[in-house]
Copies of this chain bind each other. A is one copy, B any other.
Amino acid sequence: MLTPDDVSAMLRQASLRVTKPRLAVVAAVDKLPHADTESVIAAVRAELPHVSHQAVYDSLHTLSDLGVLRRIQPAGSVARYETRVGDNHHHLVCRSCGAVADADCAIGETLCLTPSNTHGFRIDEAEVVYWGLCPRCADGDASPPP
């Protein structure tokens, strides 16, 4: 759970300005985990009707770089954002409707970060995506995304 004060402190510490659009973006993502940019824009405009899409895009980038938000983008999906950061959790993605759910790491953080052959890469993160069908799509097998 992120309070506006937490976010303000992090922004200030990085010499970034504390603006209404930025706080509203964090609040929106916190309320709608895994939301895409369009949903974030809509949620932000519920509070601040005149915010431009560009301000939201910019805020999402800035906050992701800062580490306040995490950006995920499964193949074939638009960018999605969440406030759960730094806890090594992964994602379940539905092949049919694109729904995303959280999954805690089955193994250990260290093991996850150790492939058998690194080819000289300096690895800093292991991202896992579990592909499958969400409960709804697995049941009534024909639910194409609207």
Contacts of A120 in B (CB 8 A): 134-135, 138
Considering the complex, give the chain B residue whose CB is closest to the CB of A99.
Answer: B121
A132 adjacent to B127 (CB under 8 Å): no
How many chain-A residues does the 8 Å CB contact rule pick out? 43
A3 contacts partner chain B, Cβ-Cβ < 8 Å: no
B106 adjacent to A121 (CB under 8 Å): no
A92 contacts partner chain B, Cβ-Cβ < 8 Å: yes
Interface centre among A112, A122, A125 (most CB of B within 10 A): A122
A103 contacts partner chain B, Cβ-Cβ < 8 Å: yes
Stoichiometry (number of copies): 2
A116 adjacent to B134 (CB under 8 Å): no
Interface segment, one of A20-28, A49-57, A68-76: A68-76
Q: Which of B92, B105, B117 contacts A123 (CB 8 A)?
A: B92
Sample of 5 further A-B pairs with CB below 8 A, known A94-B121, A125-B132:
A103-B117, A104-B115, A112-B128, A125-B131, A126-B128
21 inter-chain pairs at a CB distance below 8 angstroms, sorted by A residue, are A90-B115, A92-B115, A94-B121, A101-B119, A102-B119, A103-B117, A103-B118, A103-B119, A104-B116, A106-B111, A106-B116, A112-B128, A115-B130, A120-B134, A121-B134, A122-B132, A124-B131, A126-B128, A126-B131, A127-B128, A127-B130
